């Protein structure tokens, strides 16, 4: 029997992309790990391959290195592989909502991100071997309704798992959507154009978060009693 080839991800389509640490281990042990991964998300979404090296050189040459200033001076003409819609980084796993811009953009971005962060993590913590549980997983987002609900699920994933309140969690995009943090990693218009205001989006998020938590609790009870 021939192996079935996995369907190639398409340009200008949206995907839920996620992965976790091998054996469910933690992949972020302190804030500097989260920050390193976050910077990689910013820089490795571009097609150019040497941006992390250029960022390290920039940090060595500047007393107060600023990511936004670096991007303004280095990335204006660079082509993107992907666009972020939402994200959440949890201690042992992460979720992204991505739009693929270039051919095989998500695959290229995720390969660069995984390799770069694993090398950093292994060097810092004096370990060897894989860090993530195989290749990243992805599911196609085929409707606006699903796009909106997944944005809530990913934005608020730290709260879904009882890690931290999403509205004040530093390593997710929800504060960015609420206007509490001025970050420009995410392309928010595809979501916010469906709402009259941030207040409406916040209400939509709260209502859907309640439903997500209830469903999660029901699944846990079902597994427990089976």
Query: What confidence score (pLDDT) does residue 101 get?
Result: 97
Nearest CA to 19 among 127, 129, 111, 152?
111
Report helix, strand or coil for 135.
coil
Enumerate the β-bridge partners of residue 186. 84
Q: How far apart are alpha carbons 98 and 193 in whole angstroms?
A: 17
Q: How far apart are alpha carbons 96 and 54 in whole angstroms?
A: 25
DSSP string for residues in 12-50? T-EEEEEEEBGGG--S--SHHHHHHHHHHHHHTTBS-S-
Give residue for tokens 């969690």. 169
Report helix, strand or coil for 128.
coil
Confidence tier at 5 by pLDDT (50, 70, 90):
very low
Query: What confidence score (pLDDT) does residue 2 get?
Result: 43
Burial category of 221 from C-beta neighbours within 10 Å (exposed 0-12, middle 13-18, buried 19 and up): exposed
Confidence tier at 6 by pLDDT (50, 70, 90):
low
86-117: b (≥16 Cβ within 10 Å) or e = bbbbbbebbbbbbbbbeeebbbbbbebbbebb
129-150: b (≥16 Cβ within 10 Å) or e = eebbbeebebeebeeeeebbbb
Alpha-carbon 97 to chain mean position = 6
Instruction: Show the tokens assigned to 170.
Output: 């530093």
Query: What confidence score (pLDDT) does residue 3 get?
Result: 42
Residue 61 CB contacts under 8 Å (≥ 6 apart), including other chains: none
Query: What confidence score (pLDDT) does residue 68 get?
Result: 85
- 175-207 pLDDT, tens per residue? 999 999 887 899 999 999 999 999 999 999 999
- 104-160 pLDDT, tens per residue? 999 999 999 999 999 999 999 999 999 999 999 999 999 999 999 999 999 999 999
User: With left for phi above 0 and alpha for psi between -120 and 50, is residue 139 left, alpha or beta?
Assistant: beta
- Nearest-10 crossing angle of helices 67-74, 51-61: 120
Which has more confidence, 223 or 58? Answer: 58
Q: Which fold has domain 14-45+80-225?
A: Alpha-Beta Plaits (3.30.70)
Where is average pLDDT lowest: 75-79, 165-169, 210-214? Answer: 75-79
Q: How far apart are alpha carbons 174 and 164 in whole angstroms?
A: 12
Confidence tier at 87 by pLDDT (50, 70, 90):
very high
Which has more confidence, 99 or 7? Answer: 99
């Amino acid at each position: 029997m021939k192996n079935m080839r996995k369907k190639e991800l398409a340009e200008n389509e949206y995907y839920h992309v996620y992965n976790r640490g091998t054996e469910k281990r933690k992949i972020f042990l302190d804030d500097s790990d989260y920050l390193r991964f976050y910077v990689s998300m910013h820089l490795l979404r571009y097609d150019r391959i040497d941006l992390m090296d250029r960022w390290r050189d920039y940090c060595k040459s500047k007393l107060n290195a600023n990511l936004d200033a670096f991007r303004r001076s280095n990335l204006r003409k660079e082509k993107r592989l992907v666009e972020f819609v939402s994200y959440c980084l949890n201690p042992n796993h992460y979720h992204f909502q991505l739009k693929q811009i270039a051919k095989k953009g998500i695959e290229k971005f995720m390969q660069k991100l995984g390799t770069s962060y694993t090398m950093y993590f292994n060097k810092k913590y004096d370990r060897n071997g894989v860090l993530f549980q195989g290749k990243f997983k992805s599911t196609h987002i085929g409707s606006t309704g699903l796009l909106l609900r997944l944005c809530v699920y990913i934005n608020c994933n730290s709260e879904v798992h009882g890690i931290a309140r999403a509205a004040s969690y530093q390593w997710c995009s929800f504060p960015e959507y609420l206007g509490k943090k001025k970050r420009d990693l995410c392309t928010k218009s595809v979501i916010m154009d469906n709402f009259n205001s941030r207040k409406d989006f916040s209400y939509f998020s709260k209502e859907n978060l309640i439903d997500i938590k209830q469903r999660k609790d029901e699944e846990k009870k079902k597994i427990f009693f089976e």
